[in-house]
């Protein structure tokens, strides 16, 4: 069953066309990695998936909800799609526990006790149980990003989007975040990951997508795409990053 369907997505900022014509299907439990040069539209594409950005043309259907439809309640659909940002974006005035329980309590109307119980399970999963009462500024980057993942998971999303989750981290912290993501992938979460971590893409993803100039230039299994890229631009890009 397909979890995400994107058809002929077009997106521009004013005159500047950023997504020319993008179509993509992601099945349930699949992990798709998006790679490509800076400015190719990777973040914009991801942000169109949960409608943090409006788009001009095309369709986005997630878990059978049609986002492109004007009447749809974006806040409801966003509850099904978790997002993790490059800069973590935890709420600095809330403790770790409050960061995680806030949305379930306010939006899913969970009672505080069950929300906290669930939050502790998630913290255990990302290995940060003992940080429940810390504030984000008291955590390292890698810890903050793991809390951000737990915060997104607390809404029980059907899909998780990651926008360069490890790019803002010191090298020694990249591993701990990727480990959490791998675990999530093993548990069957549907994931779309924009990343520069080619090792992660190769190891975890079912498909790798190479984007350039607002198009999906090439899409293939990681083994194929990394060893036998067919397009010149893919070859040039991989030549630089591998």
Partner 1 sequence: MVCVAVFKEIIVNSYPMFLLGLETTLRIFLISVSIGFLIGLFIALFKISTFKPASWLASGYVNIIRGTPFILQLLFIYTVNGFLFSYLNETWPTIFGDVDTRELSGIITVALNAGGYFSEIIRGGILSIDKGQMEASRSLGFSRKQTMWLVILPQAIRQLTPSLANQAIISLKDTSLLTTIGIGELMYQGSLVYAANFQILPTLTILGIIYFAIIYLLTQLFSLIERKVRIP
Of 69, 58, 51, 63, the closest CA to residue 19 belongs to 58
Nearer to ligand ATP, 116 or 163 (CB): 163
The span from the CA of 171 to the CA of 148, in Å, is 18
Residue number closest to Mg ion, CB atom: 43
- Work out what residue 62 binds among Mg ion, ligand ATP, partner 1, none; the CB cut-off runs from 5 to 8 Å by kind: none
> Binders of partner 1 among 121-150, rule CB under 8 A?
135, 137-138, 148
Q: Residue 143 or residue 234: which is nearer to ligand ATP going by CB? A: 234
DSSP codes, 126-172? TT-GGGTT--GGGS-HHHHHHHHHHHHHTT--SEEEEESTTTTS-HH
38 contact choice in Mg ion, partner 1, ligand ATP, none (CB below 5 to 8 Å, kind-dependent): ligand ATP
To Mg ion, the closest distance from the beta carbon of 208 in angstroms equals: 17
Give the one entry of Mg ion, partner 1, ligand ATP, none that residue 78 binds, where binding means its C-beta sits below a cut-off of 5 to 8 angstroms depending on kind.
partner 1
- Residue 36 CA to residue 44 CA, distance in Å, equals 13
Q: Considering only residues 17, 61, 102, 198, which one is a binding residue for partner 1 as defined by CB under 8 A?
A: 102
Helices and strands in the chain: count of H runs, count of E runs: 9, 10
Site residues, ligand ATP (CB under 6 A): 13, 16, 18, 36, 38-44
CA-based end-to-end distance of the chain: 33
For residue 70, count CB atoms less than 10 angstroms from its CB and return exposed for 0-12, middle for 13-18, buried for 19 or more.
Answer: exposed
Structure tokens at 152: 């997104």
The residues of the shown chain that bind partner 1, judged by CB under 8 A, are 50, 52, 75-76, 78-79, 81-83, 85, 87, 89-93, 102-103, 106-107, 135, 137-138, 148, 151-152, 155
């Amino acid at each position: 069953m397909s979890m995400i369907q994107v058809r002929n997505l077009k997106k521009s900022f004013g005159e500047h066309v950023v997504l020319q014509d993008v179509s993509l299907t992601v099945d349930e439990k699949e992990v798709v990695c998006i790679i490509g040069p800076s400015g190719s539209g990777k973040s914009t594409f991801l942000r169109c998936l949960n409608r943090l950005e409006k788009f001009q043309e095309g369709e986005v259907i997630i878990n059978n909800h049609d986002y492109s439809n004007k009447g749809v309640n974006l806040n409801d659909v966003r509850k099904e799609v978790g997002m993790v940002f490059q800069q973590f974006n935890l709420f600095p005035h809330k403790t770790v526990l409050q960061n995680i329980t806030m949305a379930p309590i306010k939006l899913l109307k969970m009672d505080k006790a069950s929300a906290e119980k669930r939050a502790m399970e998630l913290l255990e999963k990302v290995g940060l149980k003992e940080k429940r009462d810390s504030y984000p500024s008291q955590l390292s980057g890698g810890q903050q990003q793991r809390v951000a993942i737990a915060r997104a998971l607390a809404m029980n999303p059907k899909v998780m989007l990651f926008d360069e989750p490890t790019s803002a981290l010191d090298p020694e912290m990249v591993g701990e975040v990727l480990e959490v993501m791998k675990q999530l992938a093993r548990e069957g979460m549907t994931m779309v990951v924009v990343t520069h971590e080619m090792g992660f893409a190769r190891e975890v993803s079912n498909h790798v997508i190479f984007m350039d100039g607002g198009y999906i230039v090439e899409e293939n299994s990681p083994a194929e795409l990394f060893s036998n890229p067919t397009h010149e631009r893919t070859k040039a890009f991989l030549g630089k990053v591998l």
